[in-house]
Amino acid sequence: MQNTEQTQSSLLIRDVHLRDYWKIIWQGRWTLISVFFLVVTLVGVWTFLQTPVYKAASSLEIQTHSSQITPGQDISGLGASGYGFFAEEKYVATQVEIIRSRDVAGKAFRSLALDADPRFQGMDDPVNAFRSRIQVMPRRETGLIEVSIEGGDRFEITKWVNAVVDAYSARNLQKARNNIESSVELIKQQLAPLANSLREAESTLMDDRGERQIYNPENQQEAIRKRMGELNTELAQVSGEVNRLKDLLEKVDEIRASGGDPMALPELAQDPVLQEQNRNRVQLLRDLEAKKLTLRPGHRDYKAKEAELETVNLKIEDQLYVLYNKIQTNYDLKDSQRKYLNSELRKMEAADYEMERARSTFAMAQTDVESQKQVFDLISRTLQDVSLSAGLLANNVSVLDKATPPLYPIKPKKKMNLILGALLGLFSGIGVVFFLDYLDHTLRSPEDVEKVLNLNTLSVIPRFEEGDRANRAIKEAYQTLRTGLIFSSNNRERKVLLITSTVPQEGKSSTIARLGQTLAGPGEKVLILDCDLRRPTQHFHLGTEREPGLTSYLAAPRDVTDWKPFVRPTSYENLDVLTAGPIPPNPPELLGGERFRDLLDSVRNDYDWVLIDSPPSMSLSDTSLLADLADMTLLVVQHNQTDKDVIQKNVQHLKRVGANLIGAILNNVDIQKAYQKDYYYAGYYYFNEETGKTSRKKKPAAAGSGPA
């Protein structure tokens, strides 16, 4: 028997489909919607109550190689030289760490006078607190570094960022200058002993010339060499100036051609006329930006500002033309001077050649002097080059974009927060729905009844509602139940039907009353026995008096054998009721006696159907006695109320006492909340005769429709 039940139960179990999950979501849709709107509302309130956070950023351009004006080894320390393999990557990474360093942060902190700021006063390490707010991010595959600070005051953080990049740029240039100054001092220290050694060699040579008493054009040679040195030095200076002026002319041409900012060139930026006109242009641009907010481009005031801007631009162009001509004139003069110096140098070289022929006899003696002189001259030129480099030193770090006050905050991201809140609300709602479904351990569908209890569902009784269509739906449900009973009665040989429930308030008594009315409708004689001797209610449902009744007959003297005087007719044709009568102190003694058995045998012969109403079967023994006497037992299950484990234990108990369980009734089902087009409930959506469509409008519950 047990193996058979397990086999049947396994046949009822099917795979879970996505449709089953969708049903759970649909049935809990109001919970999902409530959780969704609650989460979205909380996220929205939290988002709009947040203090806006702005981010000011400045971009630095890092040149990995220093800009050398003069040839030779770079001793400024600028650039990536000396970093070995992957020098550029290492150099940029080093600069990032330098910007993050305490040294740069301290310089910026002091320049901003933040030690007097109340926010930093009282801190153990205010510089480190300021440093922690500096964010440095190199841009991939470029030589650009972004420096940014976040805060609530957009103007203040802009000033802070600019102070940091200025401090870093100044530190980088100062470091290079310090390197060059150290190199100059070292060269000077090496140059002094070389000069002494050279003088000693020349003195020895002069003594040797006097001893030989031959013509030696040393004075002339020295004058020529001196002149050549002066010419070389002057030529180097003039050539450098020519190249500088040439580069400057090219840059000015480029600015004039492209319309660039002339203030980007230091030589032009010093011009007071350009400075004044540039300030006018900047102010006019700001005025135009302000006008855009209130005026259209075609407005008279807007056009006036544009005309003023055009005038200023023309003045700037004219001044650029004047400066360009001035630079061109200077360039022409320097270029002529360079050519003259080249010519003079060639003459001096020719004279030197002639003098060199005269000095051929002193070649061996002069070797030592010349060698020392070359070393001396080399170091002297190096000293000159280094000194020139110090004067023309250019920083390899430049501010590409100064920080400007940000227009919009970066936090909170309202749209993103609301989208994430919507997603969180949706998934939270779904999670709550599935969690509540997991906690719901009741029977909610005929499929649950069949799977958990291994019983057929003979009928699904909708919740009682007012209205003709609702009554027709309930009537149709009881007609379905009547049909199921007929098929289960073995061609009407089984007449006595016990209807019970697991716990109180599942609607068994009201179900018996309505089932009796349905069975009596076609003309069959039906008797309802109210055997719920603890809380009888059939007299209430059928509109009769409770006393005298069943207990009156069972407690009557033995010579009283006629039970018919205790039977009461009802307002429904062919339907009689034997009410409970006075409530006895010990109902099982009456229901388990021979007199009750004889009563059942008698009524079985006089009626087509005998319906027995019993107490809930889970905790009382009355139902066990009645189940053994009845031909069939039908279990009423309240929809979505009683724990399925309790019902399952009750079914096992009834089977152990020999009850012939023919099935179950799923009672008081809220059709309006059932899943749309559910195959169990679809037949109970009553038909709307006026529109020809199924009606889903929820109606208030009728009076006295609660379970009994």
Residue 570 has pLDDT above 80, yes or no: yes
pLDDT at residue number 699: 40
> Does residue 696 fall inside a structural domain?
no
List, for residues 136-195, the tens digit of each pLDDT value: 988 887 888 899 998 888 898 899 989 999 988 888 888 877 777 777 777 777 777 777
For position 205, what pLDDT does the model report? Answer: 63
Residue 695 domain flag: no
Q: Does 451 fall in a domain?
A: no
Residue 40 and residue 134 in one domain: no
**Residue 470 and residue 393 share a domain:** no
pLDDT in the model for residue 42: 92
* Residue 707: inside a domain: no
704 lies in some domain: no
DSSP structural state of residue 675? P
- The answer, yes or no, to whether residue 240 has pLDDT greater than 70, is yes
Among the ranges given (66-80, 232-246, 323-337, 530-544), the one the predictor scored with the smallest mean pLDDT: 66-80
d(CA 408, CA 53): 9
Query: What confidence tier does 1 reach under pLDDT thresholds 50, 70, 90?
Result: very low
pLDDT of 579: 86
Same domain, 81 and 153: yes
Q: CA torsion angle for 455, 460, 463, 468 (degrees, to 10)?
A: -160
pLDDT at 696 over 80: no
Token pair belonging to 354? 């002639």
Query: Is 253 within the bounds of a domain?
Result: yes
- Alpha carbon distance 112, 127 (integer Å): 12
- How far is the C-alpha of 332 from the C-alpha of 300, rounded, in Å? 48
623-659: pLDDT as tens digits:
778 888 888 888 888 877 777 777 778 788 888 887 8
697 has a pLDDT exceeding 70: no
Residue 699 lies in a domain: no
Look at the pTM and tell me if it is higher than 0.85. no
Query: 385 and 490 share a domain?
Result: no
The pLDDT, as a whole number, for residue 16 is 59
618: domain CATH number?
A: 3.40.50.300
Strands in 325-467 per DSSP E = 397-401, 457-462
Distance CA(265)–CA(268), nearest Å, equals: 5
- Give Cβ neighbours of residue 31 (< 8 Å, ≥ 6 apart): 429, 432, 433, 436
d(CA 226, CA 223): 5
**Which of the two residues, 209 and 561, has the higher pLDDT score?**
561
Confidence band for 2, pLDDT divided at 50, 70 and 90: very low
Specify whether the CB–CB gap between 502 and 650 falls below 8 A: yes
Is residue 36 domain-shared with residue 59, that is, in the same domain?
no
> C-alpha dihedral over 674, 678, 681, 686, to 10 degrees?
90
The residue among 670 and 340 whose pLDDT is bigger is 340
By C-alpha distance, which of 657, 665, 672 is closest to 592? 657
Torsion (CA) 31, 34, 36, 38 in degrees, nearest 10: -140
Separation CA 551–CA 581 (nearest Å): 5
Are residue 306 and residue 342 in the same domain, yes or no? yes
Q: Does residue 270 share a domain with residue 152?
A: yes
138 shares its domain with 75: yes
SS3 162: helix
pLDDT of residue 392: 57
pLDDT band, residue 219 (cuts 50/70/90): low
Number of neighbouring beta carbons within 10 Å of residue 589: 13
Residues of the domain holding 556: 462-683
User: What is the average per-residue pLDDT within 70-88?
Assistant: 55
- Pick from 343-352, 392-401, 489-498, 513-522: least confident: 392-401
Q: What SS3 string covers 456-519?
A: CEEEEEECCECCHHHHHHHHHHHHHHHHHHHHHCCCCCCCEEEEEECCCCCCHHHHHHHHHHHH
* Residue of higher predicted confidence among 559 and 16: 559
- Mean pLDDT within 209-213: 48
pLDDT tier at 677 (50, 70, 90 boundaries)? Answer: very low
420 plus 469 within the same structural domain: no
**How far is CA 426 from its chain centroid?**
15
Please name the helix (run of DSSP H) or strand (run of DSSP E) that holds residue 246, with its range, or none. Answer: helix 218-258
In a domain, 427, yes or no: yes
SS (H, E, C) 264-332: HCHHHHCCHHHHHHHHHHHHHHHHHHHHHHHCCCCCHHHHHHHHHHHHHHHHHHHHHHHHHHHHHHHHH
User: Can the peptide bond before residue 548 be classed as cis, meaning omega within 30 degrees of 0?
Assistant: yes
Q: Return the bridge partners of 322, or none.
A: none
Confidence of residue 360 (pLDDT cuts 50, 70, 90): low
Judgement on whether residues 587 and 517 belong to the same structural domain of the protein: yes
Question: CA 670, CA 683: separation in Å to the nearest integer?
Answer: 13
Rounded to an integer, what distance in angstroms lies between the CA atom of residue 99 and that of residue 411? 25
For residue 396, what pLDDT is reported?
73
- Taking only the tens place, the pLDDT of each residue in 366-407 is 566 677 677 767 777 776 666 666 655 667 788 888 889 988
The number of domains in the chain is 3
Q: Per-residue confidence at 225, pLDDT binned at 50, 70, 90?
A: confident
Do residues 423 and 397 both lie within one domain?
no
Out of 356, 382, 401, a domain closes at 401
> How far is the C-alpha of 596 from the C-alpha of 581, rounded, in Å?
14
For the chain, how far is it from start to end, CA to CA, in angstroms?
34
pLDDT confidence bin for 12, thresholds 50/70/90: very low
Same-domain pairing of 433 and 478: no
Q: Average pLDDT for residues 428-448, to the nearest whole number?
A: 76
**How many H helices and E strands in the chain?**
22, 12
- Least confident range from 275-284, 383-392, 478-487, 636-645: namely 383-392
More reliable by pLDDT, 502 or 217: 502
Best-predicted range by mean pLDDT (66-80, 124-138, 551-565): 124-138
Between these two residues, 113 and 376, which has the higher pLDDT value?
Answer: 113
Choose the final residue of a domain: 401, 426, 450: 401
